[in-house]
Structure 1
Amino acid sequence: MMISAQQACIIVLELHEGSTRDGHPERFVIQFCERSADGDYWIIRCNTEDCVVHGRTEYCYVGVNAYLVEVNTGALETVASCFSVEEYLQDKKDLDVAAGRSYILTPSFSRENQDAVINLRKKLACSYPDSFALLVGPGRQWFTGKRRHIEEVQRLLAREGIATSIELHAELQGAINIGPETWHFDAVLKALSKRRINLCEVGQ
């Protein structure tokens, strides 16, 4: 039996039952409730009655973006304010697809592609042997992390003529873990240089 919007809202409100502020009971009310794009969750936002109804922002609770109630089970999850609901749900889907494996960004060209190798070498300001190390064996595992972060890095590299692929691997072999800090090309280049240096140190 599917959880209705009303039932989902009750689940969220029950979470706040017994809440107090300065020793006095505090009532919470629903601000927003709608189904997620894929229909799997109710997306619900709630806050104190003083904030929502009476506009007293000093009574607003922060730290939570939204609550998710799974439509089929009623399971409740909390989305922190540092994430959008869309990002949170995308990460969940990507983890399900990965099934315990890791997302890896790898070059989609080999050392035989002379133009691509020359471009990579110039961007990294390194020797040909150092470039080759990033194109063979474990060295092809450049970055790992959340798929959406890797996709952003892939776009940044593509703009610089560096073609890559996103693969799923059961084992990590030295790939650099990246996050939202790699939002511009210089940061990506620094991370890739770190991967290159690590490979050179292993080869010594």
Structure 2
Amino acid sequence: MRIQREVGTTFLYVTHDQEEALVLSHRIAVMNAGRIEQVGYPEDVYERPATRFVAGFIGTSNILDAEVSGVDGEFAELTAPGATRLRARFTGTLGHGRKVAATVRPEKVHLFNTTAEPPAGWCVLQGVVHDVVYTGVSTQFVVDTPGGELVAFVQNAQRIDDAGAPGQPVRMAWDPEFTVLLEKVDD
């Protein structure tokens, strides 16, 4: 990056290391089988992936197969296995019953026990903790849901003696602003 700033010219850097691409790039082009899937600023590609491939290739992502059950202003109301509420901001038109894929990054997900209520209006998914991995900075929770396995990264902001318990029922919840609709999923 220092050399690029000093020379003041455009660099084209090709890598398969996603973290390196996010750190070093001003703009990223994600390619799949010789085709460009998405071009954008690193934060746009990471926070708002355009396709399933980009969501899975850049970082870890939870992908949910869902169906549009309604539209509430700028938000699509979705149904998915295990979801008591699932919403995503959208632009354009979405018809009732349309199959979609929705994604949320694991660091956006909060875990609640079954007696605690997530904030009103948040997306909520029921599940059971399958695995817990303490990584120092955060703890990774793998949760089995009726729609498949999802992941939550919980920052270790406080001292943790017991990082969690497999078999524990939980609610995964997040602000619907972090739900991103991906390409249409047709059967």
Query: TM-score, with normalisation over the residues of structure 2?
Result: 0.24
Higher helix share: 1
Name which one, 1 or 2, has greater alpha-carbon Rg: 1
Higher strand share: 2
**Larger relative contact order (C-alpha < 8 A, sep ≥ 6)?**
2
